[in-house]
Amino acid sequence: MDIVIAGAHGAIARLLTPRLVADGHRVRGIIRNPDHGPDLQRDGAEAVICDLEAADGTAVGAAVAGADAIVFAAGAGPGSGAERKWTVDQGAAKKLIDAAAELGIRRYVMVSSIGADAPPPGDEVFSVYLQAKAAADADLVAAGLDHTIIRPVHLTDDNGAGTVEVGTSVERGEVSRDDVAAVIATVIGDARTHGHTFELTGGDRPIAEVPEVIGNLPRDGA
Protein backbone atom coordinates (compact mmCIF):
# COMPACT_ATOMS: atom_id res chain seq x y z
CA MET A 1 0.00 0.00 0.00
CA ASP A 2 0.89 3.65 -0.37
CA ILE A 3 0.52 4.94 3.19
CA VAL A 4 0.65 8.60 4.26
CA ILE A 5 1.47 9.33 7.91
CA ALA A 6 0.50 12.68 9.42
CA GLY A 7 2.83 13.70 12.22
CA ALA A 8 5.57 11.62 10.67
CA HIS A 9 8.36 12.99 12.87
CA GLY A 10 6.54 12.08 16.07
CA ALA A 11 7.71 9.23 18.29
CA ILE A 12 5.03 6.72 17.29
CA ALA A 13 5.35 7.52 13.59
CA ARG A 14 9.11 7.08 13.58
CA LEU A 15 8.69 3.64 15.11
CA LEU A 16 5.90 2.84 12.69
CA THR A 17 7.59 3.85 9.44
CA PRO A 18 10.36 1.20 9.45
CA ARG A 19 7.78 -1.48 10.24
CA LEU A 20 5.61 -0.47 7.30
CA VAL A 21 8.60 -0.26 4.97
CA ALA A 22 9.74 -3.72 6.07
CA ASP A 23 6.25 -4.99 5.24
CA GLY A 24 6.67 -3.73 1.69
CA HIS A 25 4.62 -0.54 1.86
CA ARG A 26 5.51 2.83 0.39
CA VAL A 27 5.45 5.42 3.18
CA ARG A 28 5.06 9.16 2.78
CA GLY A 29 5.41 11.28 5.89
CA ILE A 30 3.76 14.67 6.30
CA ILE A 31 5.91 17.14 8.22
CA ARG A 32 5.87 20.91 8.47
CA ASN A 33 9.56 21.39 9.28
CA PRO A 34 11.79 20.63 6.27
CA ASP A 35 14.72 20.06 8.64
CA HIS A 36 13.05 16.80 9.69
CA GLY A 37 13.17 15.43 6.15
CA PRO A 38 16.51 13.61 6.51
CA ASP A 39 15.23 11.77 9.60
CA LEU A 40 12.24 10.51 7.63
CA GLN A 41 14.47 9.42 4.78
CA ARG A 42 16.59 7.40 7.20
CA ASP A 43 13.39 5.79 8.47
CA GLY A 44 12.53 4.83 4.89
CA ALA A 45 9.81 7.42 4.22
CA GLU A 46 9.43 10.11 1.60
CA ALA A 47 9.02 13.52 3.22
CA VAL A 48 5.98 15.61 2.26
CA ILE A 49 6.14 19.20 3.48
CA CYS A 50 2.70 20.43 4.51
CA ASP A 51 1.63 22.42 7.55
CA LEU A 52 -1.70 20.75 8.18
CA GLU A 53 -2.66 23.35 10.73
CA ALA A 54 -2.43 26.17 8.20
CA ALA A 55 -2.94 24.44 4.85
CA ASP A 56 -6.13 24.72 2.84
CA GLY A 57 -8.00 21.80 1.39
CA THR A 58 -6.20 21.95 -1.94
CA ALA A 59 -2.78 21.69 -0.30
CA VAL A 60 -3.88 18.88 1.99
CA GLY A 61 -5.36 16.99 -0.95
CA ALA A 62 -2.12 17.35 -2.88
CA ALA A 63 -0.18 15.97 0.10
CA VAL A 64 -2.17 12.73 0.17
CA ALA A 65 -3.12 12.27 -3.49
CA GLY A 66 -2.62 8.70 -4.67
CA ALA A 67 -2.52 7.20 -1.18
CA ASP A 68 -4.23 3.95 -0.25
CA ALA A 69 -4.30 4.72 3.47
CA ILE A 70 -3.78 7.54 5.95
CA VAL A 71 -2.47 7.26 9.49
CA PHE A 72 -3.15 10.28 11.68
CA ALA A 73 -0.45 10.33 14.36
CA ALA A 74 -0.11 14.11 14.63
CA GLY A 75 -0.74 16.23 17.69
CA ALA A 76 -0.15 19.68 19.06
CA GLY A 77 2.18 18.15 21.62
CA PRO A 78 3.09 18.90 25.24
CA GLY A 79 3.25 22.56 26.13
CA SER A 80 0.74 23.66 23.52
CA GLY A 81 -2.33 25.58 24.56
CA ALA A 82 -5.98 24.71 24.27
CA GLU A 83 -6.41 26.52 20.95
CA ARG A 84 -3.86 24.32 19.20
CA LYS A 85 -5.54 21.20 20.50
CA TRP A 86 -8.47 22.20 18.32
CA THR A 87 -6.46 23.35 15.30
CA VAL A 88 -4.17 20.29 15.24
CA ASP A 89 -5.68 17.36 17.12
CA GLN A 90 -9.12 17.99 15.64
CA GLY A 91 -8.65 20.47 12.81
CA ALA A 92 -5.77 18.78 11.02
CA ALA A 93 -7.41 15.38 11.42
CA LYS A 94 -10.63 16.72 9.90
CA LYS A 95 -8.78 18.22 6.92
CA LEU A 96 -7.29 14.82 6.18
CA ILE A 97 -10.65 13.12 6.64
CA ASP A 98 -12.21 15.51 4.15
CA ALA A 99 -9.34 14.98 1.70
CA ALA A 100 -9.64 11.21 2.02
CA ALA A 101 -13.37 11.32 1.36
CA GLU A 102 -12.94 13.59 -1.66
CA LEU A 103 -10.11 11.57 -3.18
CA GLY A 104 -11.55 8.14 -2.49
CA ILE A 105 -8.91 7.12 0.05
CA ARG A 106 -10.91 4.59 2.04
CA ARG A 107 -8.49 3.51 4.77
CA TYR A 108 -7.89 5.85 7.70
CA VAL A 109 -6.27 4.88 11.02
CA MET A 110 -6.55 7.39 13.85
CA VAL A 111 -4.26 7.47 16.87
CA SER A 112 -6.62 8.85 19.49
CA SER A 113 -6.41 8.69 23.29
CA ILE A 114 -7.86 6.88 26.24
CA GLY A 115 -10.57 9.09 27.69
CA ALA A 116 -11.80 10.37 24.33
CA ASP A 117 -14.97 8.34 24.77
CA ALA A 118 -16.13 10.66 27.57
CA PRO A 119 -14.00 13.83 27.63
CA PRO A 120 -14.36 16.00 30.73
CA PRO A 121 -15.94 19.44 30.38
CA GLY A 122 -14.08 22.68 30.97
CA ASP A 123 -11.23 24.62 29.45
CA GLU A 124 -8.28 23.02 31.22
CA VAL A 125 -5.78 22.06 28.52
CA PHE A 126 -5.94 18.30 29.00
CA SER A 127 -9.73 18.40 29.04
CA VAL A 128 -9.69 20.35 25.79
CA TYR A 129 -7.22 17.85 24.34
CA LEU A 130 -9.65 15.00 25.02
CA GLN A 131 -12.55 17.07 23.68
CA ALA A 132 -10.61 17.67 20.47
CA LYS A 133 -9.71 13.99 20.16
CA ALA A 134 -13.34 13.00 20.72
CA ALA A 135 -14.48 15.44 18.03
CA ALA A 136 -11.89 14.13 15.55
CA ASP A 137 -12.95 10.55 16.24
CA ALA A 138 -16.59 11.50 15.67
CA ASP A 139 -15.67 13.27 12.43
CA LEU A 140 -13.95 10.12 11.21
CA VAL A 141 -16.83 7.80 12.07
CA ALA A 142 -19.30 10.17 10.41
CA ALA A 143 -17.26 10.25 7.20
CA GLY A 144 -18.06 6.61 6.46
CA LEU A 145 -14.48 5.62 5.64
CA ASP A 146 -12.88 2.27 6.48
CA HIS A 147 -11.68 3.63 9.78
CA THR A 148 -9.90 2.19 12.79
CA ILE A 149 -9.57 4.38 15.88
CA ILE A 150 -6.94 3.37 18.43
CA ARG A 151 -7.11 4.83 21.95
CA PRO A 152 -3.92 3.98 23.83
CA VAL A 153 -3.42 4.48 27.56
CA HIS A 154 -0.42 6.32 29.00
CA LEU A 155 2.49 6.02 26.57
CA THR A 156 6.04 5.05 27.49
CA ASP A 157 9.33 4.89 25.61
CA ASP A 158 10.05 1.33 26.77
CA ASN A 159 11.00 -1.33 24.27
CA GLY A 160 7.98 -3.07 22.85
CA ALA A 161 6.85 -6.27 24.53
CA GLY A 162 5.09 -7.56 21.44
CA THR A 163 2.01 -8.21 23.55
CA VAL A 164 -0.90 -5.94 24.47
CA GLU A 165 -4.50 -5.95 25.61
CA VAL A 166 -7.31 -4.46 23.54
CA GLY A 167 -11.04 -4.00 23.94
CA THR A 168 -13.89 -1.53 23.98
CA SER A 169 -12.73 -0.71 27.51
CA VAL A 170 -9.43 -1.60 29.17
CA GLU A 171 -7.91 -0.87 32.55
CA ARG A 172 -5.80 2.25 32.76
CA GLY A 173 -2.14 1.44 32.65
CA GLU A 174 0.78 1.90 30.28
CA VAL A 175 1.72 0.82 26.79
CA SER A 176 4.92 1.48 24.90
CA ARG A 177 4.92 3.62 21.78
CA ASP A 178 6.75 0.75 20.13
CA ASP A 179 3.83 -1.59 20.76
CA VAL A 180 1.35 1.05 19.55
CA ALA A 181 3.35 1.29 16.31
CA ALA A 182 3.30 -2.49 15.99
CA VAL A 183 -0.47 -2.56 16.45
CA ILE A 184 -0.95 0.08 13.74
CA ALA A 185 1.27 -1.87 11.35
CA THR A 186 -0.75 -5.01 12.09
CA VAL A 187 -4.23 -3.55 11.70
CA ILE A 188 -3.72 -1.18 8.78
CA GLY A 189 -4.13 -3.83 6.12
CA ASP A 190 -6.65 -5.99 7.95
CA ALA A 191 -10.30 -5.46 7.01
CA ARG A 192 -11.47 -7.08 10.24
CA THR A 193 -10.60 -3.85 12.03
CA HIS A 194 -12.59 -1.57 9.71
CA GLY A 195 -15.29 0.37 11.50
CA HIS A 196 -13.90 -0.25 14.97
CA THR A 197 -12.73 1.90 17.87
CA PHE A 198 -10.73 0.19 20.59
CA GLU A 199 -8.65 0.93 23.66
CA LEU A 200 -5.09 -0.34 23.94
CA THR A 201 -2.90 -1.09 26.94
CA GLY A 202 -0.03 -3.37 27.87
CA GLY A 203 -0.96 -7.00 28.26
CA ASP A 204 -0.26 -10.60 27.37
CA ARG A 205 -1.97 -11.01 24.00
CA PRO A 206 0.36 -11.31 20.98
CA ILE A 207 -0.10 -8.34 18.69
CA ALA A 208 -0.69 -10.67 15.74
CA GLU A 209 -4.00 -11.66 17.40
CA VAL A 210 -5.29 -8.08 17.69
CA PRO A 211 -7.24 -7.99 14.37
CA GLU A 212 -9.18 -11.12 15.26
CA VAL A 213 -10.09 -9.74 18.69
CA ILE A 214 -11.13 -6.38 17.27
CA GLY A 215 -13.16 -8.03 14.53
CA ASN A 216 -15.28 -9.73 17.17
CA LEU A 217 -16.12 -6.45 18.94
CA PRO A 218 -19.24 -4.41 18.07
CA ARG A 219 -18.65 -2.08 15.15
CA ASP A 220 -19.03 1.66 15.65
CA GLY A 221 -22.66 2.62 15.43
CA ALA A 222 -23.90 -0.95 15.84
Three-state DSSP string of 51-94: CCCCCCHHHHHHHHCCCCEEEECCCCCCCCCHHHHHHHHHHHHH
21 in Cβ contact with 3 (< 8 Å) = no
Q: Which amino acid is at 191?
A: A
Among residues 72, 86, 108, 129, the one annotated as catalytic is 129
Active site residue 108: no
| Distance between CA atoms of residues 182 and 179, nearest Å | 5
Q: What are the E-state strand segments in the chain?
A: 2-6, 26-31, 46-49, 69-72, 107-111, 146-152, 154-156, 163-167, 174-176, 196-202, 205-206
Q: Where in the sequence numbering do the catalytic residues fall? A: 129
